[in-house]
A and B are shown apart, each in its own frame.
Chain A
């Protein structure tokens, strides 16, 4: 667990460290001659094996089979594609909303219980975090099948076997479980920094619990909410494995369509165009949230974080 603290505390660790920045022009500058040299290997590797491949995909979308915007015209004029795009967004939205509703109280509980309780709750979140995606998707396949445990339990209380596997419901259940840790951890990181005396102050000044929560606690936790929901939404948009194995081919999401175009039909241009659409949607979302976070962060500081 200590290991994961390294990643979750990454956002907060900078706070205390600001002291250590050396003034320019001191001996420090002479010692730190070429930071560029240290970063170079990582950048070269990324340019060759990340930037170049992604650009190749963009290039293919504009040139394969003929140069032009044909692939994009095809994407945006074919109703089936627009349905896939819409379905991808609604599925991601469902996953994000459900994950938030489950994660918010959970992360709050992590900050409110004692040491041992916190250890247990943290462990429960970390188990899925460490369990391979493939393993979890396989497990959901077993659990959700028509004769699986979930359906037998539902059957015993009279809810009859439901179609879960190969449906959107199954995809949403599986994806939410897979992605929830990405919401709990940033929420917890932000919530554990909130000074609960502020809530008590609001209460003592006559605010009812609900008001104290919505006016004080909720706004203070917003940076975690924004960062976490964005992360989950972005990951859902491009999710492949879980929808491919738990969903049905007729309800495919955009990532499955990209896979089919490239791997099955060898339509690099069309697959590439879909990839570009997915990439642009993702980057726009990241930009929006970066803006939103820049707005909420000063508010949090004014609110009295340490």
Chain B
């Protein structure tokens, strides 16, 4: 064990480096002065960002992604929180089945869901529509909302709700003033997971996109397989910065909330 410690540390250091290295090279790469994806860059410039913001295809894909992700977050957080409350209150076989159904998008391979959605959306004329993206992503995001909210609900003392009800609070008042504040960290985590799930989704989006409506990862995918233009690195950096800021803000809010209590 005594010799094991330093070995374990070196091992973890190497694994940790390997885990974060890919994310770290993207940021400097986006400021390269060259027109190729050579790392480390030998000169610096901001022209790939200028390219990103100047090209309607890139900036359009970026806004589509934001729009879709925000809508998905709202829809899946509301529906998922309601479902989690219902699931933790019910009992029996129906609950087990409903639970399995809600979690199944995590298990069914993305490509299977993707071609199924493609066939369905072709029939419904929903290919390349905002609604199509929102629905497909919401399905994928639901488990990530239900899991943390349900965990919170199982973790707190349900007698608090009874107490509130026995003191004369209505069902809605009990929900607003007792249940919701107690499960809020779970809801917040769920909302964040939902946003990131939608914002990152590539496989299904690849099928249900159209040349007129693409999300950012889809635009990246098609650029990556076609050319080696460092604008991709600028787009990737934008994604990294956005998700990092979101995670930090959410963590900060959660920590502050738990301190306040």
Q: In the complex, are the beta carbons of A52 and B120 less than 8 A apart?
A: yes
Across the interface, name the chain B residue whose C-beta is closest to A235: B109
- Which of B26, B105, B147, B244 is A10 in contact with, Cβ under 8 Å? B147
Q: Give the distance in Å from the alpha carbon of A57 to the alpha carbon of B203 in the complex.
A: 16
Q: In the complex, are the beta carbons of B111 and A275 less than 8 A apart?
A: yes
Q: In the complex, are the beta carbons of B240 and A131 less than 8 A apart?
A: yes
Known: A56-B119, A128-B19, A132-B243. A7 touches B107 (CB 8 A): no
Interface positions, chain A 163-200, Cβ under 8 Å from B, are 177, 180-181
Nearest Cβ on chain B to A135's Cβ, whole angstroms: 4
Q: Give the distance in Å from the alpha carbon of A49 to the alpha carbon of B98 in the complex.
A: 15
Q: Give the distance in Å from the alpha carbon of A16 to the alpha carbon of B255 in the complex.
A: 22
Known: A13-B154, A46-B142, A241-B203. A7 touches B112 (CB 8 A): no
Stretch at the interface among B43-51, B52-60, B78-86: B78-86
Q: Give the distance in Å from the alpha carbon of A121 to the alpha carbon of B192 in the complex.
A: 22
Q: Give the distance in Å from the alpha carbon of A283 to the alpha carbon of B250 in the complex.
A: 34
Q: Is B173 an interface residue (CB 8 A)?
A: no
Q: Is B70 an interface residue (CB 8 A)?
A: no
Across the interface, name the chain A residue whose C-beta is closest to B254: A2
B203: A residues at CB distance < 8 A: 240-241
B29: A residues at CB distance < 8 A: 142
Q: Give the distance in Å from the alpha carbon of A52 to the alpha carbon of B203 in the complex.
A: 18
- Which of A53, A237, A255 is B116 in contact with, Cβ under 8 Å? A53
Q: Give the distance in Å from the alpha carbon of A209 to the alpha carbon of B240 in the complex.
A: 43
Nearest Cβ on chain A to B168's Cβ, whole angstroms: 12
Hey, what's the 0/1 contact readout for B13-45 against A, CB within 8 Å counting as 1?
001101111110110010000000111100000
Hey, what's the 0/1 contact readout for B65-97 against A, CB within 8 Å counting as 1?
000000000000001101101110110001100
Known: A36-B86, A127-B20. A42 touches B79 (CB 8 A): yes
Q: Give the distance in Å from the alpha carbon of A137 to the alpha carbon of B225 in the complex.
A: 11
B80: A residues at CB distance < 8 A: 42
A226: B residues at CB distance < 8 A: none
- Which of B89, B186, B221 is A35 in contact with, Cβ under 8 Å? B89
Residue of B85, B165, B203 ringed by the most chain A CB atoms within 10 A: B203
Across the interface, name the chain B residue whose C-beta is closest to A178: B22
Across the interface, name the chain B residue whose C-beta is closest to A254: B111
Q: Is A105 an interface residue (CB 8 A)?
A: yes
Q: In the complex, are the beta carbons of A241 and B202 less than 8 A apart?
A: yes
Across the interface, name the chain B residue whose C-beta is closest to A278: B109
Q: Is A218 an interface residue (CB 8 A)?
A: no
Q: Is A85 an interface residue (CB 8 A)?
A: no
Q: Is B180 an interface residue (CB 8 A)?
A: no
Across the interface, name the chain A residue whose C-beta is closest to B188: A3
Q: Give the distance in Å from the alpha carbon of A38 to the alpha carbon of B251 in the complex.
A: 28
B16: A residues at CB distance < 8 A: 106, 120-121, 124
Hey, what's the 0/1 contact readout for A27-64 against B, CB within 8 Å counting as 1?
11001100111111111011011111111110010000
Q: Is A234 an interface residue (CB 8 A)?
A: yes
A40: B residues at CB distance < 8 A: 86
Across the interface, name the chain A residue whose C-beta is closest to B201: A133
Q: In the complex, are the beta carbons of A258 and B39 less than 8 A apart?
A: no
A31: B residues at CB distance < 8 A: 161-162, 165, 171
Q: In the complex, are the beta carbons of A238 and B98 less than 8 A apart?
A: no
Q: In the complex, are the beta carbons of B109 and A39 less than 8 A apart?
A: no
Q: Is A102 an interface residue (CB 8 A)?
A: yes
Nearest Cβ on chain B to A206's Cβ, whole angstroms: 16
Across the interface, name the chain A residue whose C-beta is closest to B16: A124
Q: In the complex, are the beta carbons of B139 and A45 less than 8 A apart?
A: yes
Across the interface, name the chain B residue whose C-beta is closest to A268: B119
Which B residues contact A (CB, under 8 angstroms)? Answer: 1, 8-9, 11-12, 15-16, 18-23, 25-26, 29, 37-40, 79-80, 82-83, 85-87, 89-90, 94-95, 98, 101-102, 104-105, 107-120, 135-136, 138-139, 142, 144, 146-148, 150-152, 154-159, 161-162, 165-166, 171, 185-186, 188-190, 192-193, 196, 199-200, 202-203, 207, 217, 220-221, 224-225, 232-233, 236, 239-240, 243-244, 247, 250-251, 254-255, 258
Q: What are 25 A-B contacts defined by CB distance under 8 Å?
A: A6-B148, A10-B150, A14-B151, A22-B158, A26-B162, A35-B86, A39-B87, A51-B101, A52-B120, A54-B113, A60-B119, A106-B12, A124-B15, A128-B22, A128-B23, A132-B236, A138-B236, A142-B25, A181-B19, A238-B111, A240-B111, A241-B202, A241-B221, A245-B224, A268-B115
Besides A36-B86, A50-B108, A131-B240, 15 other A-B contacts (C-beta < 8 A): A3-B189, A39-B83, A39-B98, A50-B105, A54-B113, A60-B119, A135-B22, A140-B22, A142-B37, A143-B21, A148-B39, A237-B109, A255-B110, A272-B115, A282-B107
User: Ordered nearest first, which 6 A-B pairs have the shortest CB separation?
Assistant: A238-B109, A38-B86, A53-B116, A139-B22, A6-B189, A124-B16
